Amino acid sequence: MVVFPNCKINIGLNILGKRPDGYHNLETVFIPIPLKETLEIIRSTKNTTDVIFSHSGIAVDGNINDNLCVKAYHLLKKDFPQLPSIQMHLHKAIPMGAGLGGGSADGAFALQLLNDKFKLNLSANQLIDYALQLGSDCPFFIINHPCFAAGRGEQLEPVSISLAGYQLMLINPGIHVNTGWAFAQLSNQPVANRQLKNLKQHIQEPLQNWRNTIVNDFEGVVFKAHPQLQQIKDELYHNQAVYAAMSGSGSTMFGLFEKSAIPNFQFPSPWFVKHFLL
């Protein structure tokens, strides 16, 4: 069986403070977007290991056992020992550590694929519980519709937002932003020093208003460390973006354009640049 994990962008990201468990309370709106990877799972004909994992496309760094797809299998295997050995192949097309949630999507889609393929009969709520054990962003990809998120990002409330008809431009210059570092920089700033916005209210306003009402708290600290990202945002607005922002803790920048707009960019060829009509 094959599935196609998609990624997301964040519209607004308010960091409300650190929790006793070490995580941060936040508010954001997750929007799924049509940049996708490919994940295939088949029953293994070999009995040497539970999971034979392979990958192609963008290089997947780190220990294979730390991959969220592999973790998803082992998480379910604890409760469903009848799960057979599998072969799993991931074709990676979403930059990692870029604020797009590609790894989180892979883990969530792996849970759903294993559930469907091996008839585990898990409900959506049960899959969300498993997904949260993989990571704070993973539960969103079980729902995979626009959601207002609170808590660690796992408290999800569907919202009626449509970006249909807009153009979406993604730009990632290859800068790696460590999420832990970004949170640490914000933790050193009092919440009072950041703009507190009623995101749930502002997201319902016309998209043309978002530029003045919706912010990503990470932009201040990340742009200070990487001024090039501020330059990209400025360039997006210079090319008539209706709204432009950084997704998550970065470093992917995105712009939303009217369907009739003709963005004219000259970004360096090694950069990751994608253009979609939503």
Domains of the chain: 2-158 (3.30.230.10), 167-277 (3.30.70.890)
Q: Provide the pLDDT confidence category of residue 190 given band limits of 50, 70 and 90.
A: low
Least confident of 29-33, 65-69, 107-111: 65-69
**Residues 261, 107 contacting (CB under 8 angstroms):** no
pLDDT in tens, 49-74: 799 999 999 988 788 889 999 999 99
Q: Among 38-52, 109-123, 149-163, name the most confident range.
A: 109-123
Dihedral sign for Cα atoms in the order 80, 83, 85, 86: negative
Q: Provide the pLDDT confidence category of residue 189 given band limits of 50, 70 and 90.
A: low
Catalytic residue numbers?
8, 137
pLDDT in tens, 128-187: 999 999 999 999 999 999 999 999 888 999 999 999 999 999 999 999 888 888 888 887
On the 0-12 / 13-18 / 19+ scale of CB atoms within 10 A, 277 is: exposed
Q: Provide the pLDDT confidence category of residue 193 given band limits of 50, 70 and 90.
A: very low
**pLDDT for 194:** 46
Contacts of 34 (CB under 8 A, 6+ apart): 6, 276, 278
Phi then psi dihedrals of residue 219, to 5 deg = -60, -40
Using CA atoms, how far apart are residues 269 and 271, in angstroms rounded to an integer? 5
Global pTM?
0.93
